Amino acid sequence: PEEAGAAVAAESSTGTWTTVWTDGLTSLDRYKGRCYHIEPVAGEENQYIAYVAYPLDLFEEGSVTNMFTSIVGNVFGFKALRALRLEDLRIPPAYIKTFQGPPHGIQVERDKLNKYGRPLLGCTIKPKLGLSAKNYGRAVYECLRGGLDFTKDDENVNSQPFMRWRDRFLFCAEAIYKAQAETGEIKGHYLNATAGTCEEMIKRAVFARELGVPIVMHDYLTGGFTANTSLAHYCRDNGLLLHIHRAMHAVIDRQKNHGMHFRVLAKALRLSGGDHIHAGTVVGKLEGEREITLGFVDLLRDD
C-alpha cells in the first residue's frame, strides 16, 4: 500500500515512469505530491485509505477543471491499482478564495422570489421528451397556477426536433407571466441552457435574461466544469439564478471502491458555481441514504 500511495502522489504531481533529465531543471522537492498517511479500511481486505497532500502552486487559480485534471486526471488508469476512489478533498481557504462560487445563493433567491420561512416547491414536467413546446408551456402554466413556485426542464431537454429551445423558452415565459398575473406571486421555470458548445449555452442564457425569467439550469457534469463556471459568471453578472442538475454523477460516484464520492463533486460545484443542485433524495426511485444526503446538504450550505 505504501508503494501504491506514493505512486498515486507522484503520478498526479511531478512523477513519471522513468527518470528524465529535465528533473534537474526544477526543484522537485518543492512541487511533488506526498502520501503522508495510510490506514486500512475497516472490515475490508486489501483496501487502504491514503492521504495525499499537494503543494498549492500545482493548481491554476479559479479552475475546477485544472484541479480535477491534476488530482484524478491520470492516476485512475494505473495498472498497479485494481481500483481507486477519491473519497474527499480538503481545500485550503487560500485556494477557495480564487473561485467565485455560487452566482447568488439562498438569501438572494428568497429575496428575488419574495418567499420566506418555507421550502420552495417545484416539479419536473413529464413526459420529459415528446411534448411540443406549446403543450409543454401549457403543463408549466397548470403547475404554477396550481400553487407550485417552480417547474423545471429535465436534464436531457435541450433543443430536439420536436421542441426547439427558443420555442420552449417563449412558451414557458408566457406560462410564467400568466401564472404570476393570476396568483400575484413570483414564479419561475428552470430553463435548461445546456448545449453542445459554450457559445450556444451562453446564447440561450442571454435569451432567457431578455425574456425576464428568473432562473436557468445547467447539467454541470455532462456540460463540463469550464462551461459551468462560464455560465455561473454570466448568471452572477446578469442577475439570473442558476440551478444545477447532476446528470451522470452515478457513473462516477456509485461504485463504492472506484471513482469519486459525491461529496467531492458537491465541493467542486460550490467552487464552479450554482445556486442549487440535486443532492439526492431519501425517498423515490433513485438511490440515496438519509444521513449521507443530509450531509451533502450541510456541506453545500457551509460557509
241-245 and 276-277 beta bridge pairing:
parallel
Instruction: Single out the residue of 266, 262, 261 nearest to residue 276, CA to CA.
Output: 266
Q: Which helix (H) or strand (E) holds 228?
A: helix 225-238
Count other C-beta atoms under 10 Å from residue 185's C-beta: 13
Rounded to the nearest 5°, which phi and psi values hold at 102? -60, 145
Rounded to the nearest 5°, which phi and psi values hold at 245? -100, 140
Under 8 Å between Cβ of 241 and 253: no
CA 12 from chain centre, in angstroms, equals 23
Q: Which helix (H) or strand (E) holds 49?
A: strand 48-53
Under DSSP, the state recorded for 271 is H
The amino acid that residue 98 corresponds to is T
Under 8 Å between Cβ of 296 and 263: yes
- The vertex-279 CA angle with 273 and 282, nearest 5°, equals 170
Catalytic residue annotation:
126, 245
DSSP track, 282-301: SSSSS---HHHHHHHHHHHH
